[in-house]
């Protein structure tokens, strides 16, 4: 509702639910869809394990890709990441 006093993400979601017309629903609320850095790996790499700390152990093998306008972390743990391609 445009005149709502809701400011936090949870308040806005609850307000949204309260003003939806009958028969219209909103998906479950989650904060996991935030704009945060993500790690994507190839299929073979994923098959070797799901432990992110393995990245640090294989730091020399890492190649980085990034969206041009998006900030990127310069390191993960003790692994200094190379410049994105």
pLDDT per residue as tens digits for the range 24-60: 988 887 765 566 667 788 888 888 877 777 778 888 8
| Residue % of the chain over a pLDDT of 70 | 91
- How far are the Cα atoms of 6, 37, 58, 61 from residue 65, in angstroms, in the given order? 38, 12, 16, 13
**How is the chain split into domains, by residue range?**
1-34, 37-85
Nearest alpha-carbon partner for 10 in 29, 37, 33, 32: 29
Q: For the chain, how many residues are written?
A: 85
* Contact criterion met (CB below 8 Å) for 52 and 59: no
């Amino acid at each position: 509702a445009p005149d709502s006093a809701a400011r936090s993400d949870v308040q806005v979601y609850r307000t949204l639910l309260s003003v939806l017309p009958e028969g219209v629903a909103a998906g479950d609320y989650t904060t996991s869809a935030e704009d945060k850095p993500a790690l994507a790996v190839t299929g073979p790499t994923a098959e070797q394990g799901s432990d992110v700390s393995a990245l640090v152990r294989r730091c020399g093998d890492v190649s980085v890709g990034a969206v041009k306008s998006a900030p990127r972390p310069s390191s993960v743990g003790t692994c200094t990441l190379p410049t994105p391609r």
